[in-house]
């Protein structure tokens, strides 16, 4: 993580986003959505002789190097908090795209964390109580489905906005690259010496330094508020204890008299043992406000903080090497995620969205507001493509593109407003019959001149 003057991660929108219109219209039901998404994921690209690129920005087939073509067969998934809701980690947003879960929730800013001892106390106190929820969370059917699609060769990579590291835990590490766009909560990094430290050990130290908070956490755990995987029930039980959890592992303390100002947190163990670094701690090892060094920060991108440059580049590469982009469980409210979708669209890539509630830039993504029209025609779709492209830019363009998208029945783009785990699990069943593997083999054969 580095600091620059231009923050890329901002507070998500707090006003409602317009609800998503299903594309194709048959995707409004679960069976229709599963069919459309299966079409989207298995549509040939771009080695099919009938393929017509839907954007003039897309290089023609002959100019793409074979090595890139071979990689541009698979789908990149861009996942967000909506995918982890079924794992018991609440979304920032309710179904209408607003902060319905906790109206008073406000995440900490990077500059506050770095410069303000009191703000860090508050952050770590809430994080201490919220950590068991994150630590115990396991991947749900949605994560398992993503893993299955990766195993089938349909999905070639995942870029996730989630900091819960759930894409790597369902059973084994995914056989594809996972890019944690905003980092993960599983490690901490020292702001002075950059040494990474495990969050689990840090939690034990927090417990030792804060016996009152530790007792509260024990009570909370005994109340089983943290032991249910049903998010509604979890919130009900936590609510009974006066607690609310947020997706970054933070927890609210309304109605409790514990003071954040009493919370203590440790210094970086590496800095403490380095005689060249001046680290101030009390007799128990808690960091003092006067300490010029040794501040540990969760290894996640905070609001007001720029993305890690290497991670940013890796995510851009993943987009460039993918055939299509599927957004899962994200409103794309953070610009760092939205710009990846923009990048895909500017390359003429097909984009799908499976997310409950409105999505930022919906018109732009689906109706060609930027980077050309999404539905500029598909040889498989009946030959109206040239006409649609010719009319691009005119008034009424959106209606034409909507019609083209409908003809594609999901191949050109999908917009599904249903729970991701239901849709993805269904798609795995549909595609599990070997249809996709066969198609991809055929495509590879054609590409290497053996089909
Ligand atoms: Zn350090």
Residues 6+ apart with CB under 8 A from 107: 11, 246, 248, 250, 302, 303
CA of 295 to the centre of ligand 1 (A): 7
How far is the CA of 327 from the CAs of 119, 131, 314, 324, in angstroms? 34, 27, 17, 10
Give the integer Cα–Cα distance in Å for 238 and 252: 10
111 is catalytic: no
299: tokens are 């290894």
Cα 251 to ligand 1 centre (Å): 26
Q: How far apart are CA 343 and CA 143, in angstroms?
A: 25
Rounded to 5 degrees, φ, ψ at 328 are -125, 120
Please give the C-alpha separations between residue 289 and each of 112, 133, 279, 283, in angstroms, as whole numbers.
14, 29, 10, 14
Q: Using the mean position of ligand 1's atoms as its centre, give its distance from the Cα of residue 191 in Å.
A: 7
The reported pLDDT for the residue numbered 383 is 30
Per-position pLDDT tens, the chain of length 451:
444 444 444 445 555 667 778 888 899 999 999 999 999 998 765 544 444 544 433 344 434 555 555 557 789 999 998 998 888 776 654 433 333 344 455 678 999 999 999 999 989 988 898 888 888 888 899 999 999 999 888 999 999 999 988 887 545 566 788 999 999 999 999 999 999 999 999 999 999 999 988 988 887 787 776 665 555 666 677 666 666 665 555 555 555 556 788 899 999 999 999 999 999 999 999 999 999 999 999 999 998 899 999 999 999 999 998 989 999 999 888 889 999 999 988 877 888 999 988 888 877 666 554 433 333 333 222 233 333 334 344 445 666 666 666 666 777 789 999 999 999 999 999 988 644 444 444 444 443 333 2
Name the H helices within 43-116.
Answer: 66-71, 81-84, 110-115
Measure the CA–CA gap between 425 and 202, rounded to whole angstroms: 36
For residues 434 and 46, give the distance between their C-alpha atoms in angstroms, rounded to a whole number.
20
Q: Give the Å distance between the CA of 187 and the centre of ligand 1.
A: 13
Helices (H), 241-308: 269-272
Angle, vertex CA 314, rays to CA 75 and CA 333, nearest 5 = 70
Cis peptide bond N-terminal to 24, omega within 30: yes
Which residues make up each annotated binding site? 190, 193, 268, 271
Q: Which residues pair with 157 in a beta bridge?
A: 76
- Can you give the pLDDT at residue 352? 93
* 304 within 8 A of 9, measured Cβ to Cβ: yes
> What is d(CA 206, CA 199) in angstroms, rounded to the nearest whole number?
10
Residue 306 C-alpha to ligand 1 middle, in angstroms? 21
Of 117, 143, 167, 182, the active-site residue reads 182
What pLDDT, on a 0 to 100 scale, did the predictor assign at position 273? 94
Kindly list the structural domains of the chain, giving each domain's residue range(s) and its CATH number in brackets, ordered by start.
25-85+147-165+167-179+307-447 (3.40.50.1220), 100-136+186-300 (no CATH)
| Torsion angles phi and psi, residue 141, rounded to 5 | -60, -30
Annotated binding site for Zn(2+): 190, 193, 268, 271
* Number of neighbours of residue 224 by Cβ within 10 angstroms: 11
DSSP H stretches of helix in 241-291: 269-272
d(CA 204, CA 374): 51
Q: Cα of 11 to ligand 1 centre, how many Å?
A: 29
Cα 248 to middle of ligand 1, angstroms: 23
To 5 degrees, how large is the angle CA 333–CA 334–CA 340? 105
């Amino acid at each position: 993580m580095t600091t620059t003057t231009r923050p890329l991660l901002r507070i998500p929108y707090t006003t409602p986003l317009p609800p998503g219109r299903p594309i194709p219209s048959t995707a409004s039901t679960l069976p229709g959505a599963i069919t459309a998404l299966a079409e989207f994921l298995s549509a040939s690209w771009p080695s099919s002789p009938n393929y017509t690129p839907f954007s003039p920005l897309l290089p023609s087939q002959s100019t793409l190097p074979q090595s890139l073509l071979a990689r541009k067969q698979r789908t990149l998934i861009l996942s967000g908090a909506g995918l982890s809701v079924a794992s018991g980690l609440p979304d920032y947003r309710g179904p209408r795209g607003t902060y319905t879960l906790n109206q008073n929730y406000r995440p900490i800013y990077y500059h506050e964390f770095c410069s303000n001892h009191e703000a860090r106390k508050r952050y770590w106190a809430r994080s201490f109580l919220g950590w068991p929820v994150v630590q115990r969370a396991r991947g749900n059917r949605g994560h398992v489905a993503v893993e299955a699609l990766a195993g089938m060769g349909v999905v070639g990579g995942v870029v996730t906005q989630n900091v819960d590291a759930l894409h790597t835990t369902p059973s084994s590490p995914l056989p594809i690259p996972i890019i944690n766009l905003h980092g993960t909560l599983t490690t901490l990094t020292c702001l002075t010496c950059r040494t990474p430290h495990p969050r689990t050990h840090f939690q034990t130290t927090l417990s030792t330094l804060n016996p009152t908070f530790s007792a509260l956490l024990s009570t909370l755990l005994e109340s089983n508020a943290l032991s249910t995987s049903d998010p509604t029930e979890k919130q009900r039980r936590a609510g009974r204890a006066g607690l609310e959890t947020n997706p970054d592992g933070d927890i609210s303390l309304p109605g409790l008299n514990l003071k954040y100002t009493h919370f203590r947190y440790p210094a970086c163990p590496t800095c403490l043992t380095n005689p060249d670094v001046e680290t101030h701690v009390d007799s128990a090892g808690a960091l003092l406000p006067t300490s010029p060094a040794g501040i540990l920060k969760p290894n996640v991108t905070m609001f007001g903080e720029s993305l890690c440059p290497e991670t940013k580049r890796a995510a851009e590469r993943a987009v460039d090497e993918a055939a299509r982009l599927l957004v899962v469980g994200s409103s794309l409210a953070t610009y760092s995620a939205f710009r990846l979708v923009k990048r895909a669209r500017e390359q003429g890539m097909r984009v799908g969205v499976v997310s409950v509630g409105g999505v930022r830039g919906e018109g732009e993504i689906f109706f060609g507001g930027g980077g050309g029209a999404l539905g500029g025609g598909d040889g498989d779709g009946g030959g109206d493509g040239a006409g649609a492209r010719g009319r691009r830019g005119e008034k009424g363009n959106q209606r034409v593109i909507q019609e083209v998208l409908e003809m594609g029945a999901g191949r050109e783009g999908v917009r599904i407003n249903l729970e991701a785990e239901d849709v993805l699990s269904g798609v795995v069943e549909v595609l599990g019959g070997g249809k996709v593997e066969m198609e991809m083999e055929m495509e590879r054969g054609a590409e290497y001149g053996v089909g």
